Structure 1
Amino acid sequence: MPPRPSSKPKVLIVLHQETSSPGRVGHMLLEEGFDLDIRRPPLGDSLPETLEGHAGAVVFGGPMSANDEDEFVRRETNWLNVPLKENRPFLGICLGAQMLANHLGGKVEGHGEGLVFRRVLFRSPAETYPNQAFRYGDNAWGIQFHGELTRLMMQRWVVRGAHRFELPGAQPGRDHLGGRLIWDMHLKRWLSEFLSLIFGKPTEG
């Protein structure tokens, strides 16, 4: 017999590489009782025309830029009208936040004051990337930092993307790992509370 469809509410998860993972965000959503509907638009996956069947959506990051001319970048950016029009819970992380900013008519830049948002929630002490999180309306959120990283994911990033940590204004990889040991417990607690704020507690249908 085919498996019975799950009655758990599902969250749309948008990833941008074949090996990408929703990381700690995915783990926490599963622990809270959500199912994950994972789509990878760069690999040909479509995005739903409505989020009526979803509890919300999370668009993650990737090596590309929200200003790139790739078809899937334009398609995803335009698709953000779905959660905004339906007022569904939405979280954009890094690339996802930049797409949201572009969709709303903001400007995404690598340096300077950069992103200017309706409601900035977090600022970095570094002048290069001052705006780290914003909120639009009731249910749309964007964060520029990577709270979804598990310790293993961060270690892989530091090793495989070592050249990125040598760019101007970048924090050295060893400092990322050292800071993670100090702040990980606090970050995990914050992320759990943040996801609960956005998606609430699931109710099975």
Structure 2
Amino acid sequence: MKSALIIRHVPYEGVAGYREPIEQAGYQVDRIDVADPAFPALDLREPDLVIMMGGPMGVYDQIEHPWIRCQMRRLAARLAADRPTLGVCFGAQMIAAALGADVYRGHARELGFHAVEVHDPDSPLRHVADVPVLHWHGDTFTLPPQAELLASSPLYPHQAFRRGPNLLALQFHAEMGEDERFEAWIEQSPEEVHEAGHTPETLRAAHDRHGSTAVAAGRAMIAEWLAGLA
């Protein structure tokens, strides 16, 4: 059986709705937290698939989080070997940085459910076109060299990119919408919720309204991407 490793940067940001298509594609899923003592010794080139999830930190927070530099170095080796890799939010930003892009604080907090503009109607992202999906970030990045831009939003033009069939980076969270940890996101970030013009009540209502549709679209997107891996 093929191996898939989920790298979790904080406990409340897991693979959520993406687990189902990954397992259905024949992967045995394992997970490791960056706080695990075994994490620094892992060779990230070994798993057949690596999935890097989100987190509240930034790629530039390497003094506060020294594991970022370590992870980035091993991630760069994996990407150089063109091993299948998926990054979500902070994970996508790490991929961008490892490929030579700039990652930096954005001009506004993007938070809540809204659709992205999909640029390639034949890409796996066609499944999320016109579907409100969850956004929760304040950082952004330049497009890495040789990367194909797949999606944009009115606030941030770089919402998703790929490099060949084996690398997919997603700024948004189409995995979230049916996971009870959404409540922890609200509890962990009250200032961000307020800054983005929301309240916990409006976010919960949007989650109830859009969550299941977002996750269904996200699962279809990931299933198609996995089916096309080289």
TM over 0.5: yes
Q: CA deviation at 1:181?
A: 4.9
Are residue 147 (structure 1) and residue 174 (structure 2) matched?
yes
Contact 1:154 1:177 in 2 (8 A): no
Aligned to 2:217: 186
Aligned to 2:122: none
Aligned to 2:159: 132
- The one-letter code matched in structure 2 to 1:10 is S
Q: 2:152 aligns with which of 112, 123, 128?
A: 123
Contact 2:44 2:74 in 1 (8 A): no
Q: CA deviation at 1:183?
A: 4.3
How many angstroms apart in 2 are the aligned matches of 1:166 and 1:178?
Answer: 20
Runs (4+) off by over 4 Å: 169-172, 181-184
How many angstroms apart in 1 are the aligned matches of 2:193 and 2:59?
Answer: 20
Moved more, 10-19 or 70-79: 10-19
Aligned to 1:203: none
- Higher strand proportion, which one? 2
User: Aligned-pair RMSD on alpha carbons?
Assistant: 2.7
How many angstroms apart in 2 are the aligned matches of 1:35 and 1:24?
Answer: 16
Q: Aligned pair in 2 of structure 1 residues 12, 184: CA closer, same or farther (>3 Å)?
A: closer
Give the TM-score normalised by structure 2: 0.70
Contact 1:15 1:38 in 2 (8 A): yes
Aligned to 1:11: 4
Render the CA deviation track for 1:86-125: whole Å, top value 9, x for unaligned. 211011111111111111221112325942213211111x
- The one-letter code matched in structure 2 to 1:147 is A
Q: Aligned pair in 2 of structure 1 residues 148, 137: CA closer, same or farther (>3 Å)?
A: same
Give the TM-score normalised by structure 1: 0.77
How many angstroms apart in 2 are the aligned matches of 1:37 and 1:184?
Answer: 21
How many angstroms apart in 1 are the aligned matches of 2:185 and 2:51?
Answer: 24
Residue segments in structure 2 that go unaligned for 5+ positions in a row = 108-138
Identity of aligned residues (%): 24
Aligned to 1:73: 68
Q: CA deviation at 1:140?
A: 1.9
Contact 1:56 1:83 in 2 (8 A): no
Partner-residue secondary structure (3-state), 1:36: strand
Q: CA deviation at 1:33?
A: 2.1
Moved more, 89-98 or 14-23: 14-23
Provide the aligned length of Structure 1 versus Structure 2.
189
Bigger CA radius of gyration: 1
Partner-residue secondary structure (3-state), 2:179: helix
Q: CA deviation at 1:158?
A: 5.6
Q: Aligned pair in 2 of structure 1 residues 158, 12: CA closer, same or farther (>3 Å)?
A: closer
